[in-house]
Amino acid sequence: MLNLFFESTSARHARRRRCRQYSNEIQVCEQRLLLSAVDVTTSPGPGGSVNVTFTGTDANDQVLLGTHYETGLLTAYSFNGTTFRLNGGPETDSLTFSSLSDVTFNLNGGSDGVSIFTTSLRDLNLNLGSGNDFAFIVDANIRDVAIQDGVDDFEQNSYTIQTFATSYHLRNIEAQFDRGSSQITVDAFTGKSIEIGKVSISGGNVQSVGFSANADSGSQVLITGKVQIQNDPSYFGVANVLLGTQQATPSEPGSVVLTKDLELNAPGGWMTISGNTSIHGKTDFVTTGFYNDRFVAESGAPVFEGKVTISTGFGDDYILLEKFDPSFPATEFHGKVSISTGEGNDIVNIGPAIFEGALTIDLGDSSPFGPFGADNMRLGAVDVQGKLDVTATGQAIVVISPPATGQAHFRKDASFTLGAGGVYINSSASNVTFDKAQVFVGQPNRIQVNYIGNVIANPAKRKLTNADLFTS
């Protein structure tokens, strides 16, 4: 980007002639004439390194910082015509450094872009201002990454951290998004790994914020600290989390591993956990607004080591802990699981899944004006080793129906308390087993209980209150 106050008339005319030689680049060249250079200031860093601050314009600034693909030197340069002014000196197309410590980008307005690659930094601070901004961090060792963005209501910002040629480590990612929609994505490719400490994302008056971590065959994303995504509850922002893997063969899966807690807390939200993903701390998915929220674990073999809490607000919510591909193994829950779907006509589908602890499901209240007229819950092939407790304030339909090749096994007491509706148990293949008590309560309305096929249970341990039993 060129500052016109420092460009002579003859130089400007020469630039225009060069642009006219390439008709498809006229617009880009003309735009460049309207821009000013990015100001670059430096200060001494530790061990002879340099701290650098890039201060941009209201134009579309673009800065690439890393090992230059031709010279092999640590260089700041650009592909869109951005130029630099170092410590008040003349403009230049590129800058070289021996080593860097703390790097800060204050790029102001415009749709700005930053790429950091094949280098090592201590701290990286990204403040890209208004506009549809993006940043790429590729094969770069950085201690802390701090992001501040989201000035306008409708801007869309993207931050991507990837590995291709080398495995590397980031200690912390901390982001504050005030408005608009922003996404942070971590991708591990080509058999390499990315290790990250804490991830903290906060949203203010945003439309949405999101975090995703993905690993392809033989690669790994390892997050050793807490992952927290939290939006201001006084606004209406949605938060999204996607954790998943891809694999070329079953013997070489990628992996996404969280050794601590995963927490999403927002007015609305979506969370998808798939593939070879394991969460060793607790998982909290809490939404409080008027949204149709989603919590999905439908593919692969995710493992939840700690307690899982799913709590949604108003709206028609979907909790899908099921598998459409029968080749996938059961989702494993090693701690207690609590699901509460709030008010609305919700759907809870589970199976195949293993629950080593108690499973508590509160379907809340339903609405006769929603798309289903009731809460709907289905248990397929499940092994519930702790107590099962299902409640609903309003109308609810609960179906227990494993596939012919699967089993639904309830090893401790199973209780169902519904405001209206019924419980339908389909054991046509003699594959539903209750080891302990079966308790059915209609409150305040009578409910219907259907045993279809050979349900393996002790009738003496079956208790019905305000409920009618039908067998076939």
Whether residue 76 is predicted with pLDDT greater than 80 in this model: the reply is yes
Q: Residues 135, 25, 96, 4: is their CA dihedral positive or negative?
A: negative
Read off the pLDDT band of 4 (50, 70, 90).
Answer: very low
* 265 CB-side CA count, 13 A: 14
Element (H, E) at 18: helix 9-20
Given its phi and psi angles, is residue 207 left (phi above 0), alpha (psi -120 to 50 degrees) or beta? Answer: alpha
> Residues 430, 436, 440, CA angle at the centre, nearest 5°?
85
Q: Note whether residue 32 is domain-resident.
A: no
Residue 1, pLDDT score: 27
The distance in angstroms from the start CA to the end CA of the chain is 79
The string of pLDDT tens digits covering residues 188-232 is 998 999 999 999 999 999 999 999 999 998 899 999 999 999 999
Q: Note whether residue 183 is domain-resident.
A: yes
The string of pLDDT tens digits covering residues 394-446 is 999 999 999 998 999 999 999 999 999 999 999 989 999 999 999 999 999 99
Residue 2, pLDDT score: 26
Give the residue, 53 or 118, on which the prediction is more confident. Answer: 53
Average pLDDT over every residue of 352-367: 93
Mean pLDDT of the chain: 89
Residue 15, pLDDT score: 38
Residue numbers of the domain that contains 148: 40-471
Residue 251, pLDDT score: 57
Task: Collect all residues with Cβ–Cβ distance below 8 Å to 295 and sequence separation of at least 6.
Answer: 270, 271, 285, 310, 312, 317, 318, 319, 320, 321
Q: Note whether residue 463 is domain-resident.
A: yes
What total number of domains does the chain contain?
1
Q: Note whether residue 365 is domain-resident.
A: yes
Residue 28, pLDDT score: 38
| Cα–Cα nearest to 207, from 267, 117, 259 | 267
Q: Please state the separation of Cα 369 from the chain's center in Å.
A: 31
Residue 170, pLDDT score: 93
The string of pLDDT tens digits covering residues 21-66 is 433 333 333 343 345 689 999 999 999 999 999 999 888 999 999 9
Q: Note whether residue 244 is domain-resident.
A: yes
Q: Note whether residue 447 is domain-resident.
A: yes
* 108 CB-side CA count, 13 A: 13
The string of pLDDT tens digits covering residues 244-275 is 987 544 556 789 999 999 999 999 999 999 98
Q: Note whether residue 198 is domain-resident.
A: yes
Whether residue 11 is predicted with pLDDT greater than 60 in this model: the reply is no
Residue 367, pLDDT score: 61
Q: Note whether residue 23 is domain-resident.
A: no
Residue 29, pLDDT score: 38
